[in-house]
Amino acid sequence: MSKEGAVSGASSAAASIKLRREPRFIVDSMLGSLARWLRMLGYDTIYAKGWHDSRIIEEAVATGRVIITRDKGLYRRALRRGIEAVLVSDNVAEALAKLGAVYGIELVIDPDRSRCPLCNTPLQRVEKLSIRGRVPPRVYESYDEFWICPRCGQVYWRGGHWRGIEETLEEARRLLSRFQRRRR
Ligand SMILES: [Zn+2]
């Protein structure tokens, strides 16, 4: 975890949860990877895999979710209905930077606030002993912090893939600061 992550995780998380009105999202079929990222970042996200546009629109109307799409037709249709929508490319870092610029989403992963990338349920930190036998022995020996999805049972830890996650987030933060400089 980066320094920024450690700071926001430890000292300001409680305050920012209270102050921020968290945006909730519905992500179209073509953006499964982005849906998983938003969940890891802690944002309540429906992945509308295989849904027709009209169902996505109705869900957004009913629940106040922001539609995220690559599809210009769906994007325009949403705007005509007065629904908030964001048009993104399939580049994850670019899409996250755009959502950072528009909705102020935090581009830092704090697993204590993450949702399960598979099913959108908030993760719970668990004692290491409780997941013994549920992860490969090498993983059990190498890591001390684990989280579990109480719904689907998936266990998470900051494994070898964490560096790749941090690199993508760093790229997103770099793009975001470029957006912000351009806006000034
Ligand atoms: Zn899950």
pLDDT at position 59: 97
**How far apart are the C-alpha atoms of 136 and 152, rounded to whole Å?**
18
- Whole-angstrom Cα distance, residue 74 to residue 56? 9
Count of structural domains within the chain: 1
- On whether residue 81 sits in a domain, the answer given is yes
CA of 148 to the centre of ligand 1 (A): 8
Q: Is residue 28 part of a domain?
A: yes
Res. 111: pLDDT tops 50: yes
Residues near ion ligand 1 (Cβ under 5 Å): 116, 118-119, 121, 149, 151-152
pLDDT score for 74: 97
Read off the amino acid at residue 143.
Answer: Y
Q: Distance, CA 117 to ligand 1 centroid (Å)?
A: 7
Backbone angles phi, psi at 29, to 5 degrees: -45, -35
Contact 82, 157 (CB under 8 A): no
State residue 21's pLDDT score: 67
Q: What separation in Å is there between the alpha carbon of 115 and the centre of ligand 1?
A: 8
**pLDDT beyond 70 at 20:** no
Per-residue DSSP letter, 103? H
Count Cβ atoms within 10 A of the Cβ of residue 4 and give its class: 0-12 exposed, 13-18 middle, 19 or more buried: middle
- The percent of residues above 90 in pLDDT, for the chain, comes to 83
Residue 37 maps to a domain: yes
- Angstrom distance (rounded) from CA 71 to CA 48: 13
- Region 89-102: mean pLDDT is 95
User: Rounded mean pLDDT of 33-48?
Assistant: 97
107 Cα–ligand 1 center, Å: 21
Q: How far is the CA of 76 from the centre of ligand 1 (A)?
A: 32
Which pLDDT does position 78 carry in this prediction?
Answer: 97
Q: Does residue 132 fall inside a structural domain?
A: no
pLDDT band at residue 128, thresholds of 50, 70 and 90?
very high
Q: How far is the CA of 81 from the centre of ligand 1 (A)?
A: 32
Q: 17-21, 56-60, 160-164: which has the highest mean pLDDT?
A: 56-60
User: Which residues have a Cβ under 8 Å from the Cβ of 116 and sit 6 or more positions away?
Assistant: 39, 122, 123, 149, 151, 152, 154, 156
Average pLDDT on 32-56 reads 97
Encoded amino acid at 37, one letter: W
The alpha carbon of 32 and the centre of ligand 1 are apart by a number of angstroms equal to 15
Q: Is the pLDDT of residue 71 over 50?
A: yes
Q: Residue 119 Cα, ligand 1 centroid: separation in angstroms?
A: 4
DSSP H helices, the chain, are: 3-7, 13-19, 32-40, 53-63, 72-80, 92-103, 137-142, 162-183
pLDDT of 13 above 90: no
Instruction: Single out the residue of 56, 81, 79, 65 nearest to residue 23, CA to CA.
Output: 65
Is there a domain that residue 41 lies in? yes
Q: Report the CATH number that the domain containing residue 81 is assigned in CATH.
A: 3.40.50
Distance 75 CA to ligand 1 centre (A): 29
Using the predicted structure, report yes or no on whether residue 2 has a pLDDT greater than 90.
Answer: no
Which residue in 117, 58, 66, 107 sits closest to 87, CA to CA? 66
- pLDDT higher than threshold 80 for residue 96: yes
Structural domain harbouring 57: 3-110+161-183
Q: Is the pLDDT of residue 173 over 70?
A: yes
In a domain, 178, yes or no: yes
State yes or no: pLDDT of 148 exceeds 80. Answer: yes
* Alpha-carbon gap, residue 113 to 124, rounded angstroms: 9
Expressed in angstroms and rounded, the spacing between residue 178 Cα and the centre of ligand 1 is 34
